[in-house]
Chain A
Amino acid sequence: MKKVWVLFVALIAAVVLAACGGESSSAPSQTNEGGTTEAGGGEIEEFVYASTSDVAGLSPILTNDSVSANVQEHVYETLFERDTDTGELIPSLAESYENPDELTWIFKIREDVVFHDGTPLNAESVKYTFDKLRDPATAAPRASLLEPVDEITVEDEFTVKITTKYPYGPFLASLAHSNAAIVSPTADQAQDLMSNPVGSGPFKFVSYTPGDQVVLEAFEDYRDGAPDIKKLVFKVVPEISTAISMLQTGEVDFIDNLPSEQIARIESIQNVDIEKKDGTSVFYLAFNQSRPENQDENFRKAVAAAVDRDTFVGKLNGLGLRSDSVLGPMVFGYNESKNAAGQAYDPELAKQLVEENGYGDRTISLLTANRDNFILMAEIAQAQLTEAGFNVKIETMEWATFLDTARAGQFDITFLSWANLTQDGSEMFYPNLHTDNIGSSNRAQYSNAEFDELVDASRTSVDQEERLNYLDQANGLLLEQNDVVVMYHGVVTGAMNSEYTNLILEPNGKWTLKDVTRK
């Protein structure tokens, strides 16, 4: 008998110790690998970024995902870019532009830029890239960026004229999108840019091992001078916990998209600096508006009143921004007055509405993607809705299945998100909530003629003041009828080895490493 108990206690002790071991081993270790410790000298021999998924491809024309865009941002450049602090659009490859009339855009291209393969970048390369992007034969996923474009003509070596079919307000924002980056025409004709990209950015492509890593090197002839990082590695580390451990040991120098539940752990690591910035992404509760039950305004009001967003945002450890506005503070179209324009948290009102209308009698399916932050929203909302008297069942799905199921409208309520790369409100409303896009990106199946009109107006006007006004009205319309219940606006994050500095983090989640230097 004694033996048995000894064995037993030993077993338990082993398990407990193993678990606690995890905690004590998280004490920071100072070992550095990968040749990053070389003292003195500004050069950084090797800099490693870890991503949880692999790139889809390396051609900006043929991809549309943030992981691929992270690599492309370093290899290619766009005509315009956003100022990282003010969000203002500033020329990058373009030098200047003018609008002789509402439908015509004339761009002056910088004259000192060459692609990595030696081809000079000129008006011809811009025309080539844009024609390819909008050519239906290319089937580019973001061909929509140039959908309003009618004709592109080369005026002289460094001047290109673009005419649009209708006045297009967010045009410059579209041109700042990483999928509108300029590719080298000679390289595109000679090779597959998906696996062998050639751009004009600060880094030159070296190699790509699918599922493992992409390696870039500094482009010595870069117009602003070559970056300090000589070898830049984008490594795939599927598990974020592992990536954090690698950051701790110095195997990895930079990670992004820090999960809110790990933030305390990362903060406790001594050799790592965390950078945060208010972002453009929005996470919201959406109703399937194709179902008559969800078109009931009181039902949506009851749901909105039942969900305590303030407490929820408090759970995000500083990685979320609370505002009712569908367009967040970093998005064009935001107006402070909308911060509290939605239905406030009012559990009593919710209970009363549920009771009066018998909302508790039907089972509501709450569809959610099986990503950590989505499950967090779903579980908290489910508990609070149950509290108010609703009968809610959670259905979790893997990301791709979730997107398809939501697109097909097989849910009652769900949580959706939008990163908003262009940082423009039209680019949030049009794909997500405009009648045109039901069956594709309008997963809420939302259709409201008044709203559509406002969004169309915001897209076709080139007067930015007027656009701001249209977007604000559209925003107000959604909030007034609780068609969208905003949970939070994202905060972009990055954690970098504290030996380095000058990371450029943009509100839309993009980041640039070209200016990174040793402290």
Chain B
Amino acid sequence: MSTTFSVETPQVRTKKKDRFVVSTMKRLLKNKLAVVGLIIIAIQVIMALTAPWITSYDPATQQLTKSELPVMSEGHILGTDNYGRDVWTRIVYGAQISLVVAITAVTLGLLGGVVLGMLAGYYKKWDAVIMRFVDLLFAFPGILLAMLIIAILGTSLINVAIAISIWSIPTCARIVRGSVLSIKEKEYIMAMKSMGASDLRIMVKHILPNALAPIIVFATMRMATAILSTAALSYLGLGAQPPTPEWGAMIAQGQDYMWTSPHLTVIPGIAIMLTVFAFNVVGDGLRDALDPNMDLN
């Protein structure tokens, strides 16, 4: 697969790319677990996009007289929380928050990781410096690093996204560097070099597309981690500030009522579990689908 991209004319490349995408999708769709994951993700995305239309309440509006209603109450399909806020509405708006924070965090992390990994892999003299810095980031356990960053920046969802993105950088940088190291020795790169292509052109147009597969898998898996970490940090009170309907914050708030109204913790818990599960199985499926060796089976 790798040689197909580089020396063809643009039109042919696009066609080949399309064919590659289609065949990858086909392989992915054969993986039943991944399909389930995709469906869950699709539902979450739809929920997030159509939030105002599929709910009839505001996520922050309280009805103190209607608090802690159980699941399937009249007008409140998933019941209400201790402030009388509709749980279904909060779950739906929570999906929005989880997705936005996770996508932001993963995008920022990828940006940093790809740039660092690319530079480290391509320029030998930068390798040691960048990778030692990356090792330094690795030395902290992930969630601890995130908490440290939030302690410095202050508690807010934006800072959670920044913290998670910084935490994603080292892993991403290592993956990219590894791919770059192997790709840059390929003949077509040598050919580009001998034709006088600039380093930037080689990196962006020729190495990056070929290193994309592991990055895509990493990004998908990272989405799961990001959603889980956002929830964890909010649960600890370091992320979303009340009354933001963040899933982790909802669990933290509901746990005092666990004995009387278990749905306040169970429902957001299920939401987090399903989403994380979905991104993980899709990531797994993508890894298998993007592996060129799969054709041999």
> Real complex partners, A and B?
yes
Q: Does A501 belong to the interface (CB within 8 Å)?
A: no
Known: A16-B266, A22-B258, A380-B83. A394 touches B36 (CB 8 A): no
Interface segment among A75-83, A218-226, A261-269, A347-355: the answer is A261-269
Report the separation of the CA atoms of residues A270 and B68 in the bound assembly, to the nearest whole angstrom: 23
Q: Does B260 belong to the interface (CB within 8 Å)?
A: yes
Indicate the member of B242, B243, B270 with the most A CB atoms within 10 Å.
B242
Q: Does A189 belong to the interface (CB within 8 Å)?
A: no
What is the minimal beta-carbon distance from A404 to any residue of chain B, in angstroms?
A: 15
Q: Are A19 and B262 in contact (CB under 8 A)?
A: yes
Q: Chain A, 301-322, contact with B by CB distance < 8 Å: what is the 0/1 string?
A: 0000000100110110000000
Q: Chain B, 73-95, contact with A by CB distance < 8 Å: what is the 0/1 string?
A: 00000000011000000000000
Q: Are B259 and A26 in contact (CB under 8 A)?
A: yes
Report the separation of the CA atoms of residues A308 and B63 in the bound assembly, to the nearest whole angstrom: 12
The residues in A between 380 and 419 inclusive whose CB is less than 8 angstroms from any CB of B are 380, 382-384, 386, 393-396, 398
Q: Are B155 and A383 in contact (CB under 8 A)?
A: no
Q: Does B256 belong to the interface (CB within 8 Å)?
A: yes
Q: Does A20 belong to the interface (CB within 8 Å)?
A: yes
What is the minimal beta-carbon distance from A265 to any residue of chain B, in angstroms?
A: 4
What is the minimal beta-carbon distance from B97 to any residue of chain A, in angstroms?
A: 16
Q: Chain B, 246-262, contact with A by CB distance < 8 Å: what is the 0/1 string?
A: 00000001011111101
Q: Which of A15, A261, A378 contacts B266 (CB 8 A)?
A: A15
- Minimal Cβ-Cβ distance residue in B for A308: B64
- Minimal Cβ-Cβ distance residue in A for B67: A315
The residues in B between 46 and 85 inclusive whose CB is less than 8 angstroms from any CB of A are 60-62, 64-65, 67, 82-83
Q: Are B260 and A265 in contact (CB under 8 A)?
A: yes
With a CB–CB cut-off of 8 A, which chain B residues contact A4?
Answer: 32-33, 36
Q: Which of A20, A372, A379 contacts B243 (CB 8 A)?
A: A379
Q: Does A52 belong to the interface (CB within 8 Å)?
A: no
Report the separation of the CA atoms of residues A396 and B240 in the bound assembly, to the nearest whole angstrom: 10
- Minimal Cβ-Cβ distance residue in B for A315: B64
Q: Are B266 and A379 in contact (CB under 8 A)?
A: no
Q: Chain A, 4-29, contact with B by CB distance < 8 Å: what is the 0/1 string?
A: 10001001100110011011001000
Q: Does B197 belong to the interface (CB within 8 Å)?
A: no
Q: Does A259 belong to the interface (CB within 8 Å)?
A: yes
Q: Does B269 belong to the interface (CB within 8 Å)?
A: yes
Known: A19-B266, A380-B62. A261 touches B256 (CB 8 A): yes
With a CB–CB cut-off of 8 A, which chain A residues contact B14?
Answer: none
Q: Chain B, 110-154, contact with A by CB distance < 8 Å: what is the 0/1 string?
A: 000000000000000000000000000000000000000000000
Report the separation of the CA atoms of residues A54 and B82 in the bound assembly, to the nearest whole angstrom: 30
Q: Are A394 and B241 in contact (CB under 8 A)?
A: yes
Q: How many A-B residue pairs have CB under 8 A?
A: 80
What is the minimal beta-carbon distance from B66 to any residue of chain A, in angstroms?
A: 12
- Minimal Cβ-Cβ distance residue in B for A260: B256
The residues in B between 242 and 291 inclusive whose CB is less than 8 angstroms from any CB of A are 242-243, 253, 255-260, 262, 265-266, 269-270, 273, 277
Interface size class of A (residues with CB under 8 A): 35 or more
Q: Are B242 and A394 in contact (CB under 8 A)?
A: yes
Q: Does B237 belong to the interface (CB within 8 Å)?
A: yes
- Minimal Cβ-Cβ distance residue in A for B236: A370
Q: Which of B33, B242, B270, B277 contacts A382 (CB 8 A)?
A: B242
What is the minimal beta-carbon distance from B39 to any residue of chain A, in angstroms?
A: 11
What is the minimal beta-carbon distance from B103 to any residue of chain A, in angstroms?
A: 24
Known: A383-B83, A394-B243. A259 touches B273 (CB 8 A): no
- Minimal Cβ-Cβ distance residue in B for A261: B256
Report the separation of the CA atoms of residues A261 and B64 in the bound assembly, to the nearest whole angstrom: 14
Q: Does A344 belong to the interface (CB within 8 Å)?
A: no
Q: Are B243 and A396 in contact (CB under 8 A)?
A: no
Q: Does A137 belong to the interface (CB within 8 Å)?
A: no
Q: Chain B, 218-243, contact with A by CB distance < 8 Å: what is the 0/1 string?
A: 00000000000000000001000111
With a CB–CB cut-off of 8 A, which chain A residues contact B60?
Answer: 383, 386
With a CB–CB cut-off of 8 A, which chain B residues contact A262?
Answer: 256, 259
Q: Does A375 belong to the interface (CB within 8 Å)?
A: yes
Q: Are B260 and A264 in contact (CB under 8 A)?
A: yes
With a CB–CB cut-off of 8 A, which chain B residues contact A39?
Answer: none
Q: Are A395 and B62 in contact (CB under 8 A)?
A: no
With a CB–CB cut-off of 8 A, which chain B residues contact A449?
Answer: none
Known: A8-B36, A15-B273. A311 touches B237 (CB 8 A): no
Q: Does A1 belong to the interface (CB within 8 Å)?
A: yes
Q: List 10 A-B contacts (CB under 8 A).
A: A4-B32, A11-B273, A16-B270, A19-B262, A19-B265, A265-B259, A315-B82, A375-B242, A396-B241, A396-B242
Given contacts A264-B260, A383-B62, list 10 more A-B pairs with CB under 8 A.
A8-B36, A23-B262, A261-B82, A262-B256, A311-B65, A315-B82, A375-B242, A379-B83, A380-B62, A386-B60
Closest A-B pairs by Cβ, 6 of them: A19-B266, A261-B256, A265-B259, A383-B62, A19-B262, A311-B64
Point out residues on A near B: beta carbons under 8 Å: 1, 3-4, 8, 11-12, 15-16, 19-20, 22-23, 26, 241, 259, 261-262, 264-265, 308, 311-312, 314-315, 370, 372, 375-376, 378-380, 382-384, 386, 393-396, 398
